[in-house]
Structure 1
Amino acid sequence: MSAATTSTRKEGDGLLLGRFEIGKLLGHGSFAKVYLSRNIKTNESVAIKVIDKEKIMKGGLISHIKREISILRRVRHPNIVQLFEVMATKSKIFFVMEYVKGGELFNKVAKGRLKEEIARKYFQQLISAVGFCHARGVFHRDLKPENILLDEDGDLKVSDFGLSAISEQIRGDGLFHTFCGTPAYVAPEVLGRKGYEAAKVDIWSCGVILFVLMAGYLPFHDQNIMVMYKKIYRGEFRCPRWFSPELTRLLKRLLDTNPESRITIPEIMENKWFKKGFRNVKFYLEDDKLCSVKEGGEIEDDGIDYSSDQSSYSETEAESEARRRKGPTSLPRPASLNAFDLISFSRGFSLSGLFEDGVEESRFVSRVPVSKIIPKLEEIGQDVKFTVRKKDCRVSLEGSREGVKGPLTIGVEIFELTPSLNVVEVKKKAGDKGEYDVFFERELRPRLQELMHTDQPGESSNPPSDTE
């Protein structure tokens, strides 16, 4: 075992890989911790993201990590947090990144709205960075003040490309289809899940950010997430009286619900309000080559090439083995539900209980995780002597008794509305409608009651933040 490997056992002690002095913890998530560090040879401060390899392999996320590295290689820009190098040991992956001292833009906005010239400067730098990303075929897809940092000179740095995509991932229809982003900043076409242009989605998010910088609050907000989605879909927002007419016109074009007519990056850069005091960033783009450091025993080769520039990745043997170890009881994450489908069939926008009883189908919102919903459905099926069949987040309850139109069969499917809320859809797949109605009222509804989410007075329906 190398001395470097020994030094990684305690990320906070001694030298990391013989070169970096590890300091205070800056932040942490489910799979990684970020430490302030110092390169002892150059005395340069850096941020080192330490990723637990076992956790990401169990979650099948190696491909995700490699894709993030590939993306960061493409976007070396003064207003984007830079990735310097990637290293790996048997148990850890290390991202050595630029250390940005000023903290999140969110913390600055949380104190109140900004002066127009300051907000304009940040917006100019944001558009410069986003335009550069788009020109390199990279789309962020989760732009928000929490993912924008400020350096010691007060300049903006875009960070967190974990949800980013590259042009090679576009489907045959020329669109992206992944539901992602943060609800208050996400474009209406993403929520609609009919496919979207990722560049247009980033521009919408930039518009929300500009509004927040200038107003000190969100353009689309409500404690009930469904009402907020409706406002986003309709583009219902009002500019405060202190916004200039030029800024108001720009925001209306940025927050245009029609992506086809939404303003483009070149058009933004020609906008009168935007151009005031704008200085186009000129910089030297160095060689993109990023190497996974594997020198003379400093770190141990784990057989994974983190410097790969492929846009898509097949499952590695290690990932496959990790997936097999999880066993058949592991439940997949449910599909994201089209929020506007929910709006179209809901009576009002409360998330309480059963919000629709259709002719042969019903839906309700639940805070109960999938890992408990499916066993409950199995229990119900066994009690009424129905055959239970499962596939992913779908459960089928099949009766054995011949009815008027054959055996009654009921399908249940679980969708994700937010990270903390699921929608459960129950519908008749086969059999007589009358028999289904009786069975639903007598057996299913009473038993499913405990899974239903009912808003309590004063309870917020907002999803938890990324930091929770």
Structure 2
Amino acid sequence: MNKAKVKRRVGKYEVGRTIGEGTFAKVKFARNAETGEPVALKILDKEKVLKHKMAEQIEREIATMKLIKHPNVIRLYEVMGSKTKIFIVMEFVTGGELFDKIVNHGRMREDEARRYFQQLINAIDYCHSRGVYHRDLKPENLLLDAYGNLKVSDFGFSALSQQVRDDGLLHTSCGTPNYVAPEVLNDRGYDGTTADLWSCGVILFVLLAGYLPFDDSNLMNLYKKISAAEFNCPPWLSFNAMKLITRILDPNPITVSSNTLGKFSQEHHVTEKKEEQPAAMNAFDLISMSKGLNLSNLFDVEQEFKRETRFTSKCPANEIISKIEEAAKPLGFDVHKKNYKMRLENVKAGRKGNLNVATEIFQVAPSLHMVEVRKARGDTLEFHEFYKKLSTCLDDVVWKTGEDMQDMK
């Protein structure tokens, strides 16, 4: 008796063939059964992730991708979990890796390389504006869609601005050796912006030359070449291309033109509209913030003191901002506002430097807002003490349910 093949489903997605496989995950083609839209479904085995201590990296990748919404960055649509698996639903692109294009066709003409480089710079400049540093940029992590547009992927080694230490630098050495910046190798801390820019410069060189600027079978020799920026441009490069590459591949992050990235993005940027109301929060955002689908609960890893907290309010967004400002200033905090985001900075240094607190207001419904309050820098215990004092001052702003009122009796 012939039976119709029943397609496996994960949530609303029909799962198809395997399109990629790694140590900790499989990536399968899937289709949204409601809309017919193709997606890539990354399936992670919880047991393997925990065994190899990859939970933090996966959490970081998901948190990072949720922050980034840009036409040249792979989109994350949804995260789901079961007892044994984590499912990450992402944008599906069909053009393969930029690396394959170089391997199959060799070096590019300057006009073609320029287009990809401009898209890369647009994407990375946008990521930096959101406090996200990729830290593993290479052609293998640059995908192409059906129209040949570049899509930055694989944020597994990315860093958020919260990971910057009190000296203002990142300290984790990561990335692929041939593409990594000299300051990352010297283990004295580095600026994520200039480190990513260096990798962009190496990528531009590869696109135009067809080979790596720094390469050696001996790793120590490779590091020496990178640290000294020891490379030669091929004779077929134009003067302007050579000049740009030389400016970017400067081994001193202090003297490298800090506005090179900005200049490129200004020339070929994706304009952002000024926010006229708080960012809307969809059902997935709410669920992922709840206890039921919090990533830390997916992994069942014991957490330290929370570095962020949230509350809801029925007050208008502008009133919430004014109330937070009124409460924070007497506690010794400078207040910096931009749209519906605020940065509160303690003027006095604490145990780990000046405590910085970031707040953002999201619209859940026309008359309901969620306020996120998180530690951006400083001591976590000091953040908790601050939040206790702040919440006391905001007693009339925080929305209390009937259950909350009952608990207070």
Task: Sort the TM-score into its range (normalised by shorter chain).
Answer: 0.5 to 0.7
Q: What is residue 207 of structure 1 aligned with on the other side?
A: 201
| Residue pairs, 1:118-129, within 5 angstroms | 118-129=112-123
1:318 lines up with 2:312 in the alignment: no
Q: 1:302 to 1:25 in 2, by over 3 A?
A: farther
C-alpha distance in 1, partners of 2:191/2:44? 31
C-alpha distance in 2, partners of 1:132/1:289? 22
C-alpha distance in 2, partners of 1:129/1:17? 30
Q: Which runs of 5+ in 2 are unaligned?
A: 304-409
Deviation at 1:267, TM superposition (A): 2.9
C-alpha distance in 1, partners of 2:91/2:99? 19
SS in 2 for 1:252: helix
Correspondence for 2:133 among 139, 142, 159:
139
C-alpha distance in 2, partners of 1:216/1:13? 46
Preserved CA contact (<8 Å) 1:74 1:288: no
Q: CA offsets per residue over residues 189-216 of structure 1, 9 Å max, x none?
A: 1111111001110000000000000000
Deviation at 1:291, TM superposition (A): 2.3
Q: How many residues end up aligned between the 2 structures? A: 293
Q: What is residue 175 of structure 1 aligned with on the other side?
A: 169
Normalised TM-score (structure 2): 0.67
Q: CA offsets per residue over residues 284-342 of structure 1, 9 Å max, x none?
A: 797465727979xxxxx995503xxxxxx7x9993369xxxxxxxxxxxxxxxxxxxxx
Q: What is residue 291 of structure 1 aligned with on the other side?
A: 284
Q: What is residue 37 of structure 2 aligned with on the other side?
A: 44
C-alpha distance in 2, partners of 1:290/1:192? 44
Structure (1 or 2) with the larger CA radius of gyration: 1
SS in 1 for 2:255: coil
Preserved CA contact (<8 Å) 2:171 2:189: yes
Q: 1:289 to 1:240 in 2, by over 3 A?
A: farther
C-alpha distance in 2, partners of 1:108/1:185? 18
Q: CA offsets per residue over residues 162-202 of structure 1, 9 Å max, x none?
A: 00000111111111110100000000111111110011100
Deviation at 1:41, TM superposition (A): 1.0
Q: What is residue 109 of structure 1 aligned with on the other side?
A: 102
SS in 2 for 1:270: helix
| Residue pairs, 1:26-41, within 5 angstroms | 26-41=19-34
Deviation at 1:15, TM superposition (A): 3.1
Q: 1:230 to 1:291 in 2, by over 3 A?
A: same
Deviation at 1:115, TM superposition (A): 1.1
User: RCO greater where, 1 or 2, for CA within 8 Å and sep 6 or more?
Assistant: 1
Correspondence for 1:88 among 58, 81, 85:
81
| Residue pairs, 1:258-277, within 5 angstroms | 258-264=252-258, 266-270=259-263
Q: What is residue 441 of structure 1 aligned with on the other side?
A: none
| Residue pairs, 1:16-415, within 5 angstroms | 16-111=9-104, 112-264=106-258, 266-270=259-263, 279-282=268-271, 287=280, 291=284, 303-306=292-295, 318-319=300-301
Preserved CA contact (<8 Å) 2:287 2:293: no
SS in 2 for 1:96: strand
1:15 lines up with 2:4 in the alignment: no
C-alpha distance in 1, partners of 2:283/2:59? 12
Preserved CA contact (<8 Å) 1:87 1:292: no
Preserved CA contact (<8 Å) 1:87 1:294: no
Preserved CA contact (<8 Å) 2:15 2:31: yes
> Which amino acid is 1:88 matched to?
G
> Which amino acid is 1:94 matched to?
F
Q: Which runs of 5+ in 1 are unaligned?
A: 1-11, 296-300, 307-312, 322-468
Preserved CA contact (<8 Å) 1:85 1:293: no
C-alpha distance in 2, partners of 1:194/1:290? 42
C-alpha distance in 1, partners of 2:13/2:34? 8
Q: What is residue 9 of structure 1 aligned with on the other side?
A: none
Normalised TM-score (structure 1): 0.58
SS in 1 for 2:122: helix
Q: CA offsets per residue over residues 386-410 of structure 1, 9 Å max, x none?
A: xxxxxxxxxxxxxxxxxxxxxxxxx
C-alpha distance in 2, partners of 1:294/1:149? 30
Q: Give the superposed CA RMSD.
A: 2.7
> Which amino acid is 1:319 matched to?
V
C-alpha distance in 2, partners of 1:231/1:13? 56
Q: CA offsets per residue over residues 357-389 of structure 1, 9 Å max, x none?
A: xxxxxxxxxxxxxxxxxxxxxxxxxxxxxxxxx
SS in 1 for 2:175: coil
> Which amino acid is 1:280 matched to?
H
SS in 1 for 2:300: helix
Q: 1:267 to 1:106 in 2, by over 3 A?
A: same
